[in-house]
Structure formats: structure tokens, C-alpha cells
Structure 1
């Protein structure tokens, strides 16, 4: 299934493959959000959750990454990974999602988001 990667600063990359996906997400040049979508109703997305303060500074020091929020949507429901994740975890989740794997789903505890 063809998927589109959409980012804040780079726009949409249709029919993205694993190599292009990894290249685009390898740096923070893509901006503060990225979404990998099969359709408007099925996607995985991540947003940079950086904000000034001690908690964010501690996360960055411990993980070497801004904190990110990871979500996915399917069958009319949206879910968010509990806690904050690193950009590396986002990259792995997006790769797994793109390749149809289950690692992205099992690597995190998910909670439904009220829309």
C-alpha cells in the first residue's frame, strides 16, 4: 500500500519508501511534526513536544532528543503512546508502520484520545 509522508517543513512525499522515510526523519530539518498516512483516516503521526522547563531539559539530557508525542488513527479512533518518546523511537515506529509490521503497535502502551 502506498503511503504519504507529510511534514511541517518538507510538505508531502507521496509513495514514500523506507530509505526516503529514514532519510527525511534522520534530521530535525522536517520541522515539528510528521505524519505517515495510508489515507485521511489511517495514519501514524508525531509532534515535537519541546517546551521550556526542567522536565523537558531532563528528558533531553537523558535521551539526547526532544520529547515527541506519537499517535495513530484507525477505524475512527485515535490513540496516543503513553509518555513521551524520542525521535529515534518515532523513526522506528514509522518504519514499522510503513512496512506493515506490528512492532510500532507493541512497542508502546496506547491510550485512546477523545476527539
Structure 2
């Protein structure tokens, strides 16, 4: 397993404590990926925009809005949560993914999101 972020050092075989220490505030940048293999991962991306929906999310949750996605082996595309998530919820999902627990998938409704670009 490997934890990769935009600005923090990559961590091989991260523990739950490593995830807690890394995914805090804005010190790790605007994205994080926790992967078992290149085809089996969970990831978040910061969705902050200077707009009313972002301001409303911040006022309600105290967190920037984050996009949460996961990919499983042999799938055609990522699955993306249909709503923004808080950083706390994303961190909890990362820790469960790290332990092999998939119960975090029940927290949201998911939609396919094909990130590939036809060339």
C-alpha cells in the first residue's frame, strides 16, 4: 500500500496514524491517493471554488469540499461520490480502506466517472 499526495512525502505501507498525520489541513496539497495497486485505490481531490456552493459547504461543515473516488481492479471507470465530502470523512474512508474495510462505500451514493481521455 502507498499514500501519495501533492505536497507531502510519499509513504509506503502507511498506518492509520500516518493517514491521520498526513491528511490534515492543507499541508498535503489538493489531492491524496491511497493505493493497494495502481488499479485498486481511493482518492480525494479538493473541489474548492470561489462560489456560493463552496461557501455554503464551508459554513455548514467547516471543511473545504472534497471529491471522493475509488477504483477497483478490472473496473472500467472510477466511482465518484455524488456529493462533496469533508476532509474528516475522507480521512475516515482512507483509514477504513487501509484496513480492508469497505463499509465507507455505504456512506454515499456513487456514480461512474470515466477519467480517461480518448486520443
Cα distance between partner residues in 2 of 1:104 and 1:37? 16
Paired residue for 1:98?
98
Paired residue for 2:79?
79
Q: Is the 8 A contact 2:44 2:68 kept in 1?
A: yes
SS for the counterpart of 2:27 is helix
**TM-score of the superposition, structure 1-length normalised?**
0.93
Q: Give the aligned CA root-mean-square deviation in angstroms.
A: 1.0
**TM-score of the superposition, structure 2-length normalised?**
0.90
State the 4+ residue runs in structure 1 displaced beyond 6 angstroms: none
Paired residue for 2:26?
28
Paired residue for 1:89?
89
Cα distance between partner residues in 2 of 1:50 and 1:68? 8
Q: What is the aligned length?
A: 113
Cα distance between partner residues in 2 of 1:87 and 1:7? 14
SS for the counterpart of 1:69 is strand
Structure 1: runs of 5+ lacking an equivalent: none
